[in-house]
Amino acid sequence: MLEKFMKTALRTALSFLGLTLIAAASPVLAQSTYPTKPIRLIVPFAPGGVTDTSGRLIAEQLSRRIGQSIIVENKAGASGNIGAAMVANSEPDGYTLVLGFDGTIVINPHVFTSMPLDTLKDLTPIGKIGETILILLAYPKFEAQTLQEVIDLSKQPGKVINFGSSGVASPQHIAVELLNQRTGSKLVHVPYKGGGQAMIDVQAGVIPLVFTAVAGGLPHVKSGRLKAIAVSSEKRASSLPDVPTFIESGIKDFVASGWVGIFAPTKVPRPVIDYLNKELNAVLSAPEVIARLNTLGIEASPGTPEKFSQEIAADFKRYGDVIKAAGIKAE
């Protein structure tokens, strides 16, 4: 009887030990076996823009490293909300990801009266691809030559200085509203449905200023069709090293770069997040990828998910305060 009891107890102990070892090893197993099939990367915008192009570049390079296809799918609509919500509601297994940019993640929640997801709770960052450098450009004959001259001119009684952007509540719009609130400048927003027509109008002198991504403005600056005033990034753009930053132009601690990164549904296992972050950082450290991103006006920014999360939280609050003060709502 005692012998039978001892055998039963031993089997129970070994079974418990086995289950414990399996549970402890499961993160390792998850990481070592992932990915076993193609991954979908949802780009929540139409094909052809800078965000889409950067996503396709990263998908191509990341696919080579992980040995699985990464299929890019464009799901445009509601300033990125539709594609982001689609991923947030997908199976949290690491096989459906979304390309997120600051407009969708930290601006949309403050300007849309109804959101199909909570961007901070329903998505988790894998890593930041890079910073999108923004630049203030002027019609070549516009009288101001520096950012401070633009600010001073806008404050003159009866003077109306318009600036164009790609639309209401775009990152460019929010950045100039931040400038107005920080400096007392009175630049007036003229929203366009996309940046293309704004670029055409500023070259024709219809509006004096446009705030846009460096990638879109670079050819026009190089050709002399537009005049570069300043970039709002922390450091000068490598593609336009002679153009000063807003900080260098006298606006203390003013940084208003855009960013783009990769996100997953929140319940994706942590080993999968860590694996993808490690591989993404390896891609972003490759000289050829850095060079290709630079042509898009994006400065590669490898880093941890935690650091990216902190930046997102800070931007969420900062832009939320600007939007509330300016009373901006999505059209």
Query: In whole angstroms, how far apart are CA 252 and each of 134, 232, 233, 306?
Result: 17, 11, 12, 27
Please tell me the predicted confidence (pLDDT) of residue 32: 60
- On whether residue 140 sits in a domain, the answer given is yes
Q: Is 6 part of any domain?
A: no
Whether residue 112 sits in one domain with residue 55:
yes
Q: Which of 183, 215, 231 is the last residue of a domain?
A: 231
pLDDT score at 276: 98
Q: In the numeric block, which tokens belong to residue 71?
A: 């299929």
If asked whether residues 262 and 128 sit together in one domain, one would say yes
Cα separations in angstroms, 282 against 12, 33, 55, 163, 275: 46, 19, 16, 39, 11
pLDDT score for 119: 98
Total domains, the chain: 2
What number is the average pLDDT over the span 271-283?
98
Sign of the dihedral through C-alpha 317, 75, 271, 116: positive
Distance CA 100, CA 305 (A): 14
Residues 275 and 307 in one domain: yes
Give CA separation, 247 vs 102, 228, 231, 301, in Å.
21, 15, 9, 20
What percent of the chain clears pLDDT 90, i.e. is strictly above it?
Answer: 75
Domain boundary among 231, 247, 276: 231
Q: DSSP readout, 226-256?
A: SEEEEE-SSS--TT-TTSPBTTTTT-TT---
Higher pLDDT: 181 or 16? It is 181
Q: Give residue-wise pLDDT tens across range 247-265.
A: 999 999 999 988 999 999 9
Considering the domain architecture, whether residues 142 and 205 belong to the same structural domain is answered as yes
| CATH assignment of the domain containing 176 | 3.40.190.10
Give 75-125 pLDDT, tens digit per residue: 999 999 999 999 999 999 999 999 999 999 999 999 999 999 999 999 999
| CA distance linking residue 146 with residue 244, whole number of Å | 9
Q: Which domain holds residue 98?
A: 39-132+258-326
| 202 and 117 in a common domain | no
Residue with the bigger pLDDT between 167 and 155: it is 155
Name the band, by pLDDT with cuts 50, 70 and 90, for residue 167.
Answer: confident
Residue 116's pLDDT is 97
pLDDT in tens, 185-238: 999 999 988 778 899 999 999 999 999 988 889 999 999 999 999 999 988 988
pLDDT at 30 over 80: no
Residue 301 has pLDDT above 50, yes or no: yes
Strand partners, 261: 100, 128
Q: Could you tell me if 125 and 139 lie in one domain?
A: no
Q: Are both 152 and 201 inside the same structural domain? A: yes
pLDDT > 90? residue 297:
no
Average pLDDT value for residue range 298-303: 94
Residues 49 and 127 in one domain: yes
How distant, in Å, are the alpha carbons of 8, 80, 171, 240, 249 from that of 166? 72, 14, 9, 22, 24
Q: Evaluate whether residue 26 is within a structural domain.
A: no
In a domain, 72, yes or no: yes
Q: Could you tell me if residue 1 is inside a domain?
A: no
pLDDT at 19 over 50: no
Mean pLDDT value of segment 26-31: 42
